[in-house]
Each structure stands twice: as C-alpha cells, then as structure tokens.
Copies of this chain bind each other. A is one copy, B any other.
Amino acid sequence: MQSPIAILQSHKLRITDCRLEIIQEFLDKNIALSHSDLEETLKQQFDRVTIYRSLKTFLDKDLIHKVLDDSGATKYALCSHGETVHDHSHEHVHFKCETCGETTCLEDITLPQVKLPAGFEKKEMSLLVQGVCEKCH
C-alpha cells in the first residue's frame, strides 16, 4: 500500500534515511508524534536538527499536518492516509487520551457545519476530543 518511498516520491522529495524512518514511524504507530517522540524512537540516530528540518519540509509539502495538543508539544500526523492528496481534508478530528497521552485520528467522524458570526470566514476546523482511550480503560 503506502510505502515511505512512494510517499516521498509522490511529494517530489529526495529519498534519505532520515525521511524514510520518520515516515515509517508514522505509518507504524499511526498516532500523532512530536519531534522528541521521533528523536527517541528512530532506530538510527539522526541529528536533532535534521529531524526538525524533515518535519518542516513535510509540513511545507503537505505530507504531514500539525495536530493540536494542549501539552505545548507540537505534534504531527500524516496527511490523508488514503490516496487523495488534493482533496485536502481541512477538517481534523483527533482524540487525545489523558492517560497514555496518545493522540489518534478519528477518521470516520465528520464535523458538523458551524455557523460563524458575520464577517468571519472559515478555512479550517480542528476538533480535539480528550478523554480516555480504549487501551487505558
């Protein structure tokens, strides 16, 4: 299905060890990851800066997106697990477990229309639900 190499190629990015491992980690874990999460878990040891720059590049190329988090940590997740890259789901729904701290994407949930006050233009919506996940019950 989705291989790290294919993902990089489809975003016209050069294939490097660091990038491959980061993407692999996102695919494996399937939860939102922060820079320090990656720094700790990547098998190979990469420079902190390299990981920062990889994340920035991925953000710029819409390969990952930021996931809201209340802890102050900046977390990221892969965009559109499926194939539709252009579809640009500007709606993000995530669940963060207060016990284990893991943030997962709730794929199936669609956000209702929100009617904003006059003069406000909506471009993007993110819903973060916090509670306890099934693993921690």
Interface, chain A (partner B; CB < 8 A): 66, 68-70, 72, 74, 93, 95, 98, 106, 108-109, 111-112, 114-135, 137
Contact = CB atoms under 8 A, between A and B. Distances in A.
Contact of A72 (B74, B95, B122): B74
A128 to B, nearest CB: 5
Between A121, A130, A135, the greatest number of chain B beta carbons within 10 A of the residue's beta carbon is seen for: A121
A55 to B, nearest CB: 12
Given A72-B74, A114-B109, A129-B114, A98 B123 contact: yes
24 contacts: A70-B126, A72-B72, A72-B74, A93-B114, A95-B120, A106-B116, A106-B117, A108-B117, A109-B114, A111-B127, A116-B129, A117-B134, A118-B134, A119-B134, A119-B135, A120-B131, A120-B134, A121-B131, A122-B130, A123-B130, A123-B132, A124-B129, A125-B128, A125-B130
